[in-house]
Amino acid sequence: AQSVTQPDIHITVSEGASLELRCNYSYGATPYLFWYVQSPGQGLQLLLKYFSGDTLVQGIKGFEAEFKRSQSSFNLRKPSVHWSDAAEYFCAVGPNAGNNRKLIWGLGTSLAVNP
């Protein structure tokens, strides 16, 4: 079955520390991969996406993610976290072929940032 797992429900880091949020997926073929961020009371905003090519992708707000096919993972990283990064982060996957491109979502990781 197709699924996305974000193993960490909640993470707390100190401002200035590095961050890694994990995402593992189960899918029949190499999917499209996404990370979205949701600030409190807001909709979701795309941070970055992977379709093909370079497995290290850069996104907005200083985030990056690395696609590792052998591990079925797409972990999100940031070298130095800012207090404004406190939010909910969602990993999603979608098919890279066909017309029915429904996304499969992880349950999210809530990030808290200590001053």
Partner 1 sequence: NAGVTQTPKFQVLKTGQSMTLQCAQDMNHEYMSWYRQDPGMGLRLIHYSVGAGITDQGEVPNGYNVSRSTTEDFPLRLLSAAPSQTSVYFCASSWDRRNTEAFFGQGTRLTVV
Binding site for partner 1 (CB under 8 A): 32, 34, 36, 41-46, 49, 51, 90, 94, 99, 101-103, 105-108
Closest contact distance (angstroms) between CB of 62 and partner 1 is 19
For partner 1, give the closer residue by CB, 15 or 104.
104
Closest contact distance (angstroms) between CB of 17 and partner 1 is 26
For partner 1, give the closer residue by CB, 14 or 99.
99
For partner 1, give the closer residue by CB, 17 or 60.
60
Helix (H, G, I), strand (E, B) or coil at 26: strand
List the alpha helices (DSSP H) in 12-62.
none
User: CA 24, CA 33: separation in Å to the nearest integer?
Assistant: 10
Q: What are phi and psi of 85, to 5 degrees?
A: -80, -10
User: CA 39, CA 85: separation in Å to the nearest integer?
Assistant: 8
* DSSP code, position 16: T
For partner 1, give the closer residue by CB, 69 or 102.
102
Closest contact distance (angstroms) between CB of 78 and partner 1 is 20
56 sits in which H/E element:
strand 56-58
Closest contact distance (angstroms) between CB of 32 and partner 1 is 7
